[in-house]
Amino acid sequence: MLLIRTRLTWYSYLLSGFFTFILNIQGNIIPFLRDELGLSYRAVSLHPSAIAAGMICTGFLTERVVAAIGRRGAYLVAVGGSIAGMLLICVAPTAAVSIAACGLVGITGAMIPGVMSGLLSFLHGGARDQAFAEAGAVTYACAITANFTAGAAVALGLGWRSAMLFGVACGIALVAVYGRDRIPNPPPRAVTTRERLPLASWAYLVMLGLGVALEMCLLLWSPAFLQQVVGLSRSWAATASAAFPAAMLLGRWVGSVVVRRVPPALLYPASLVLLMPGFALYWGVPEPAIAVGGLFLAGLAVALLYPLAMSFAIGAAGPAGDAASARSGLAAGTAILTAPIALGTLADAVGLASAQLIAPALGVAILVCFAVARALQRRGAYVATPSLS
């Protein structure tokens, strides 16, 4: 099916990129915030945890917000809340305020992917796989933009707050250009009856969460691994670790084309085939160039896991597709909250090199979950689970 991009398609893509920009800019500004407020490492760790906790809450709230004010209203609340959170971070006098601001960003901004997935599925139907892949590519382009924006702001002497204000300006511009557009809402029956998700859809959401956990473990810990295990300097390790997001961006752009020619049910497990050799080169070869090349291959393997898992979950949900879209925040937020902490705890116990073996273990778990979900779907497992509403 041919993907015809409308204004609402681009609005959704760009809003997803806006939210990802906010998430990524946090990691760049936290060191400056730590110095200004005199934060402990524990206080620093509570900032991303607050965002993740907000995302988990949003997994339960998005449906209610859409039912009350529609998709258009939910988008506006998401952007407005994110902007308010960013501005609050800029003026936060204490850690309590900055942590609360991060929670506000998580609980409002995470409505964007929760609404977007259902909307893109409604707009593009059979072409939703390509739409999700393209949205994923835009998000990673904006993630990389966040890094460059923060670096440029500091290098030019403008301060980290100017990078945050750039994000605020982008959010305001998006609302100014697209905010008045009419957005179709879910059918009243789907909103009022709150259809429960079938087991197959839940299995795909678990798979989605495992994929996010794998992505976070490699994205957040690869700089430390390249420095401490491979032997690069801190600056070179930080630079070389960009191989992973670069591969994610490339994989999603290429994947948006490949998904039109290869059935997603084949493409998903096939993409994971690259994970094992890529990880083996990254983890097992001390030569820096080879290790970085392996990290790049691993990024290509992970690139399509999230968009395809989202498409599977919505497809398996049938008339409860918007509920599956909303619950994606629950799966992703849980992974973001727990995976980096789990790997860090494991690294303290057995060392960073051994702890990184969690990556191939997650890859195996993802494949098992995929097989279970496919089996449930083939059996027509339209058995509803107890409502979480």
354 and 213 in one domain?
yes
262: left (phi over 0), alpha (psi -120 to 50) or beta: beta
Residue 2: pLDDT band by 50, 70, 90 thresholds?
Answer: low
The CATH number covering residue 377 comes to: 1.20.1250.20
**Of 161, 185, 209, which marks where a domain is finished?**
185
- Checking if the pLDDT of 7 tops 50, the result is yes
> Do 209 and 338 reside in the same domain of the chain?
yes
Q: What is the pTM of this model?
A: 0.75
Closest to 15 in 3D by CA, of 70, 60, 80, 63? 80
* Orientation of helix 358-378 relative to helix 321-350, angle to 10°: 150
CA distance linking residue 89 with residue 161, whole number of Å: 9
Answer for the pair 111, 58: CB distance below 8 angstroms, yes or no: yes
Give backbone dihedrals phi and psi of 2, rounded to 5 degrees, phi first: -75, 135
Provide the residue range defining the domain that includes 219: 195-389
Helices and strands (H and E) in the chain: how many: 17, 0
pLDDT tens track for 204-216: 999 999 998 898 8
User: Does position 193 have pLDDT exceeding 50, yes or no?
Assistant: no
**Average of pLDDT values for 176-184?**
90
pLDDT in tens, 103-145: 999 899 988 988 887 788 888 877 777 888 888 888 878 877 8
Q: Write the DSSP assignment of 163-226 as a string of letters.
A: HHHHHHHHHHHHHHHHTTS--PPPPHHHHHHTPPPBHHHHHHHHHHHHHHHHHHHHHHHHHHHI
* One domain, residues 202 and 169: no
R_g over Cα of the chain: 20
In the chain, the number of structural domains is 2
Alpha carbon separation from 234 to 4, 181, 351 (Å, rounded): 45, 47, 18
Q: Are residues 129 and 245 in the same domain?
A: no
Residue type, 335: A
Residue 190 is assigned to a structural domain of this protein: no
Residues 180 and 253 occupy one common structural domain: no
